[in-house]
Amino acid sequence: MVPITTFHYLVVAAALFVLGVIGVLTRRNVVIVLMSIELILNAVSLNLVAFSRMWGNLHGQVFAIFIVVDAAAEAAVGLGILIAFFRNKETINIDEIDLLKW
Amino acid sequence: MLNQFMSYLGSNVTPGGANNQLWALIYVLIIFAGVSVAVMAMNWFERKALAHFQIRLGPMRVGPHGLLQPIADALKLMLKEDIIPQEADQFVFWIAPVIGLLAAFTVYTVIPFGPSQAVSDMNIGILFMLGVSSLGVLGIVVAGWASNSHYPLIGALRSSAQMVSYEIAMGLAVVSAILMTSFNASGTGTLSMIGIVRSQQQQGIWFIFKFFPLGLVAFVNFVVAMIAETNRAPFDMAEAESELTAGYHTEYSGLRWSLFMLSEYAAMIAVSSIAVTLWLGGWLRPFPNLLHAPGWDFVFSLFPGLTFLGLAAIAFIGVARMPAHFSFKIQRIGLAAFAAMLGFIALLLLLIAIAGRSSSSDASIAARFREGIDYVYWFVLKVALFMYLFIWLRATWPRYRFDQLMRIGWKVLLPITLGVLVLTAIVGVIVS
Amino acid sequence: MIPLFIWALDSPLQHPAGIAAFLISVVAPVNGEMAPVATPFFFYLLSGLAVAGGFFVVTRHNPVHCALALIVTLIAVAHLYLMLYAPFVAGVQIIVYAGGIMVLFLFVIMLVNIERASKDRRFNRIWPVGLAAACALMGLFVSAFVKGRGLFPDRMIKLPEASNTQEIATALYGEAGRMGQYTFAFEIASLLLLVAILGAVIMTKKRI
Amino acid sequence: MSDGTVKETNEISGQAPAHHDQSHLHLEAPEKPYLDSNELIINMGPQHPATHGVLRVILKLDGEKVLGTECVIGYLHRGVEKIGENRTYTMFNPYVDRMDYVAAVSNGLGYCEAVEKLMNVEAPARAKYIRVILTELNRIASHQLWLGTHALDIGAMTPLFYTFRDREEILKIFEKYCGARLTTHAFRIGGCQYETYAGFEKEVKNFLAFVAPKIDEYEELLTTNRIWLERTRNVGVISGDDCVALGVTGPVLRASGVKWDLRKAQPYAAYSEFDFEIPTGENGDTYDRYLVRMAEMRQSLRIIEQAVNGIPEGPIMGKVPKVIKPPVGEIYHSIEAPKGELGYFIVSDGSTQPYRLRVRPPSFVNLQALDVMVRGLLVADVIAVIGTLDIVLGEVDR
């Protein structure tokens, strides 16, 4: 078999990234949109860790940890907004979230 | 093969380590079987102990003193009709208990029953344990949701909130123990489970007694958090029988239900193992440094045999106390055979202890074998004490209410563990 | 569940490891001192699982199924981290992502109206535009990878793995009184988390 | 929770539309000034481990907070009052035991005394003393059963077995006295049918010596237990005024600070001759009700001791005709049953059968307080409050 190189990891990350983008752009359910964002973040941190391995230093891994922190913050705030929104409009469809004020 | 086994016994490496893949596999099988048997034994013991707390006898009919009751239960559960509610989400309903079980059993990969008696020695061992045991909550949440019913849903929401909150206190308590490993010459701590026990050995103190009140406080906090984490009384809100019928597994029956029970008990043993490893010196026998003469080694190595001898004696007393009526004949024979088996094991262990003693200086196979038995014995004994604690609490205390539980988790345990962590760091810096 | 299971049994940290190694030695004999878990077979298996999980996240109707698929992806990616000699990141990924964030997601899915959501249309009104944009992005990636294949060297430098956690700690917190390279960023991240917690609490509370 | 689930519950409630219309829960059209993401309606019971029989409580929840409750009763309705109209006075006597089956002796006492009052006969002194002893024993048994099940509901498993062990001793005395353990039918109109068996006094005294430390044992397990305190203090608070307005009686009323006990207020049987106290609480919460009941058990021991020591000699049956035909008239007589005021209203047309018989069951009336007590609390507290009300569904549904 071909030995696994950084390039292989990049391809996987790119595939995850594109899947995430498709999810963000096409799904209606906000929860799933948030999940797709998590996919994108994962793709990015996979890239970073792969590069970290490629260069043989730890910067990529540290950044991956920061990305996890960011993902946690993003999920908390995003889901908080979602709950608040659901209370008011009783919907989580992205099509119906079209007012700047309610 | 035999030679390899002997050479393994003579070696001092973890099976997961270099060139021991085969033994790693065997260890996985041994641990899987061992944990399953332990869960069954725990099931029997809990029923009997609880019964005696409550002035009852508990199971008495299936086998002498109900010894075969867990087997009968397991058979019954396997043969029961497997019901999936029509409105349930079939796939998720099916997979939920499997998630819980996998999470509960996966944790055993890194539990060190001895310095070389573990499946693997990961350098992120404790992180791995916390992570995998936090996956167990997924099984519960998903089970409650998939049942498509109100009580399971409430139970699932309760337990997910509970487990996520208590994980924080638990993690902080663990961190303070890990911090203690770093107070050595090199100033470097370790996350490896084996490394943690080794550093207790090197520092000559179990971490429960380290910086006296601090280790103890962290340990107590961990114990409270671990009871909450495994959904046991007095924190068994998720399956509070009198409130939510059976909580998240209300709709489950038969084999699937037994998988939930299996994973609950396996998780109990797993978290107890963490507590033992982090604070109670893991496989170390009491006073390994104070009483380290070979003579003391011999005395302590007699303990496993003596324990089994005691169990055999109890079983023989049971035989003697059985009614002399002829209808008890089979039970008497069965119990006597069980007692004889225990006695035989005791004899074997004592023999090994004596044989291992005579050549304790060189690394003979008997000596290695004796050491291995010692390690596993002390580890299992400590875990068994925790199991008794679980039963004791269940028999004694009422159940907390959900908001009180969350209050304890966030307003009591979290600040205390944080304070202990900071104090441990300060004291450690001052001392070293 | 396969990744979880594999993760259960492999331990690339003390190479070679566990049952995964055993399986590998049966499936494809390994030669040399190459870590057995870092074999192409495992790479393809895990990346396949990750991509399949991502695919289901995007296509499944039911949000809970999506969440489960995402968990599979996350755990598979954690494995990939392990293969890349980043055990600490993998551990953090499991604890924070799979154990924390995904439970939060499931919690919210159960709170909001899922019955109706699962009967609704899956995709929004402008899905063709979105899909086209994503395809364009994919084209960009493909062209970049095809043209820039040489930009990524094939080397894979072995990182000292046993001290991985320690080195990350050094980078984050510094060493012997010196501030680490990322200490300031780390503090900022903690501030970010604090703000996020406060924001989430304030937004979800009915009356403060 | 969701549209689907709310509809589903409505379908279930829809089985009883007449009842449904009077529902104060507004199940069909919940008024939501503020849309709530987690409002759900669940049915607790009639098959539920903690509803003590076949009580069905419809709970409207906001998350875990109770917004309102509605009790659906009648699953155990046997038409006891109607049966009474079709039986002679004597024949109806065993039926009353089946109402509050954990305190059957009290039920019988109330009925016999009501009929005696209607007929203007009085039971002899010895019969009255025997009645007091058995009734107070039964009060202890009832409270013990309450304590065990209440503690079990709150999660303490062990007290149940302790209380049942000790209740067994009481049931043994009952069995020796009249041959039955649960539905005793111990008394007859005009007195008692059976003379006490040989050694009765001694056994009762032995029991008193046996049970007093056991009550301390229960208290040791619970009274100062932190979890028990947290689960019961300030839970299900009801004020004395509310109790009076709702007609709540018994330990629930006394725990709210109202010193009202029919044994003192309107002494019946031989209660005026004994020295005992009425324990009262202050806060009217679940913990006070627990304390009041524990104190009542001790007071009952005092009463029994005095009664056993002072039991007079003499006949045990008053002068009652063979065929009981009370004069035309009506009577309301009530006694202090373990759960509260147990009243019998009997209208006689001069025949051998009551024209109308009406029972005022304490459980039924006390159950009304449930809604007042649990609003704003959590689901777990509903369990605690149902337990603390000490209801018996046989009596609620009759």
Residue B8 in this model has a pLDDT that exceeds 80: no
Chain C residues inside the 8 Å CB shell of A5: 152, 154-156
Rounded CA separation C95/C79 (Å): 13
Residue of D nearest to B404 (CA): D230
Same domain, residue pair C26 and C52 = no
Same domain, residue pair C29 and C59 = no
As to burial, measured by CB atoms within 10 angstroms (0-12 exposed, 13-18 middle, 19+ buried), residue D177 is buried
- Domain housing C56: 39-117
Residue of C nearest to B90 (CA): C65
Tokens 């167990």 sit on residue: B136
Same domain, residue pair C17 and C83 = no
- The predicted structure's pLDDT at residue D13: 40
Rounded CA separation D240/D246 (Å): 10
> For residues C45 and A91, which has the higher predicted lDDT (pLDDT)?
C45
HSE-CB for D42 with a 13 A CA cutoff = 26
Residue B389 in this model has a pLDDT that exceeds 70: yes
Asked if B401 lies within 8 A of D50 by C-beta distance, the reply is no
For range D187-206, the mean pLDDT: 86
Instruction: Establish if C3 belongs to a structural domain.
Output: yes
Residue B35 in this model has a pLDDT that exceeds 60: yes
Q: How many CB atoms lie within 10 A of CB B346?
A: 20
* Percent share of chain B, pLDDT over 90: 11
CATH value at residue A39 = 1.10.287.3510
Instruction: Establish if A96 belongs to a structural domain.
Output: no
Most D CBs within 10 A among A90, A92, A96, hence the mutation to make, goes to: A90
Report pTM: 0.83
Chain C residues inside the 8 Å CB shell of D37: 111-112
Instruction: Establish if C131 belongs to a structural domain.
Output: no
Asked if C110 lies within 8 A of B121 by C-beta distance, the reply is no
Rounded CA separation B299/C101 (Å): 51
- Domain housing A25: 6-89
Rounded CA separation B389/B275 (Å): 13
Rounded CA separation B228/B167 (Å): 9
Same domain, residue pair C61 and C30 = no
Characterize the bridge pairing of strands D191-192 and D329-337. unpaired
- The per-residue pLDDT for range B58-77, each reduced to its tens digit, is 888 888 888 888 888 888 88
Residue of D nearest to C113 (CA): D2
Residues near B374 by Cβ (< 8 Å), separated by ≥ 6? B283, B285, B300, B301, B303, B304
Tokens 């009852």 sit on residue: B56
- The predicted structure's pLDDT at residue B422: 92
Instruction: Establish if A70 belongs to a structural domain.
Output: yes
Instruction: Establish if A35 belongs to a structural domain.
Output: yes
Closest CA to D143 of D28, D264, D279: D279
As to burial, measured by CB atoms within 10 angstroms (0-12 exposed, 13-18 middle, 19+ buried), residue B188 is middle
At residue B241 the predicted structure's pLDDT band, cuts being 50, 70 and 90, is low
Instruction: Establish if C192 belongs to a structural domain.
Output: yes
CATH value at residue C50 = 1.20.120.1200
C134 to chain B, minimum CA–CA distance in Å?
A: 30
For range B204-221, the mean pLDDT: 86
At residue C34 the predicted structure's pLDDT band, cuts being 50, 70 and 90, is very low
Rounded CA separation D263/D384 (Å): 28
At residue B397 the predicted structure's pLDDT band, cuts being 50, 70 and 90, is confident
> For residues C156 and D145, which has the higher predicted lDDT (pLDDT)?
D145
Residue of D nearest to C112 (CA): D37
At A3, list the tokens: 């030995």
Are 3 or more Cβ–Cβ pairs between D and C shorter than 8 Å? yes
Residue B122 in this model has a pLDDT that exceeds 80: no
**Which member of D151, D165, D378 has the closest CB to residue B401?**
D378
Instruction: Establish if A69 belongs to a structural domain.
Output: yes
Same domain, residue pair C53 and C107 = yes
Same domain, residue pair C71 and C112 = yes
Are 3 or more Cβ–Cβ pairs between A and B shorter than 8 Å? no
Chain D residues inside the 8 Å CB shell of C111: 37-38
For range D44-48, the mean pLDDT: 73
Closest CA to D118 of D324, D374, D289: D324
At residue C27 the predicted structure's pLDDT band, cuts being 50, 70 and 90, is very low
φ, ψ (nearest 5 deg) of residue D185? 50, 55
Instruction: Establish if A27 belongs to a structural domain.
Output: yes
Asked if D37 lies within 8 A of A88 by C-beta distance, the reply is no
**Which member of C11, C98, C166 has the closest CB to residue B120?**
C11
Closest CA to B84 of B95, B72, B73, B99: B95
- The predicted structure's pLDDT at residue B284: 85
Asked if C1 lies within 8 A of B142 by C-beta distance, the reply is no
- The per-residue pLDDT for range B400-426, each reduced to its tens digit, is 888 888 888 889 999 999 999 999 889
At residue B92 the predicted structure's pLDDT band, cuts being 50, 70 and 90, is confident
Q: How many domains does chain A have?
A: 1
Same domain, residue pair C168 and C189 = yes
Instruction: Please check whether residue B123 is in contact with residue B35, taking contact to mean a CB–CB distance below 8 angstroms.
Output: no
| The one-letter amino acid at D305 | E
- The predicted structure's pLDDT at residue C2: 41
B314 to chain D, minimum CA–CA distance in Å?
A: 26
Mean pLDDT is lowest, of B37-46, C36-45, D181-190, for: C36-45
Same domain, residue pair C9 and C69 = no
- DSSP type of residue D348: E
Residue of A nearest to C114 (CA): A92
- The per-residue pLDDT for range B308-340, each reduced to its tens digit, is 999 999 988 988 888 888 888 888 888 899 899
Q: How many domains does chain C have?
A: 3
Same domain, residue pair C69 and C105 = yes
Distances from the Cα of C203 to the Cαs of A37, B68, D371, in angstroms? 21, 56, 32
- The per-residue pLDDT for range C167-189, each reduced to its tens digit, is 888 888 877 777 778 888 888 99
User: Residue B83, by phi and psi: left (phi above 0), alpha (psi -120 to 50) or beta?
Assistant: beta
For range D76-103, the mean pLDDT: 88
Residue B221 in this model has a pLDDT that exceeds 80: yes
Rounded CA separation B71/B37 (Å): 10
Chain D residues inside the 8 Å CB shell of A88: 35
Interface of A with C in 2-21 (CB under 8 A): 2-12, 14-21
Interface of D with C in 15-44 (CB under 8 A): 34, 37-38
Query: DSSP for B139-194?
Result: HHHHHHHHTTSHHHHHHHHHHHHHHHHHHHHHHHHHHHHHHHHT-SSS------HH
Distances from the Cα of B72 to the Cαs of B38, B61, B68, B82, B252, in angstroms? 16, 11, 6, 17, 19
For range C89-93, the mean pLDDT: 88
Residue where a domain terminates, one of C117, C151, C182: C117
Chain D residues inside the 8 Å CB shell of A87: 34-37
Query: DSSP for D373-390?
Result: HHTTSBHHHHHHHHHHHT
D383 to chain B, minimum CA–CA distance in Å?
A: 7
Instruction: Establish if A97 belongs to a structural domain.
Output: no
- DSSP type of residue A24: H
Q: Which residues pair with D71 in a beta bridge?
A: D57
Instruction: Establish if C145 belongs to a structural domain.
Output: no
List all chains that touch chain D, counting a touch as 3 or more CB pairs closer than 8 Å.
A, B, C
Asked if C94 lies within 8 A of B17 by C-beta distance, the reply is no
**Which member of B121, B124, B188 has the closest CB to residue C91?**
B124
B150 to chain C, minimum CA–CA distance in Å?
A: 11
Same domain, residue pair C29 and C70 = no
Same domain, residue pair C43 and C112 = yes
Rounded CA separation D191/D193 (Å): 7
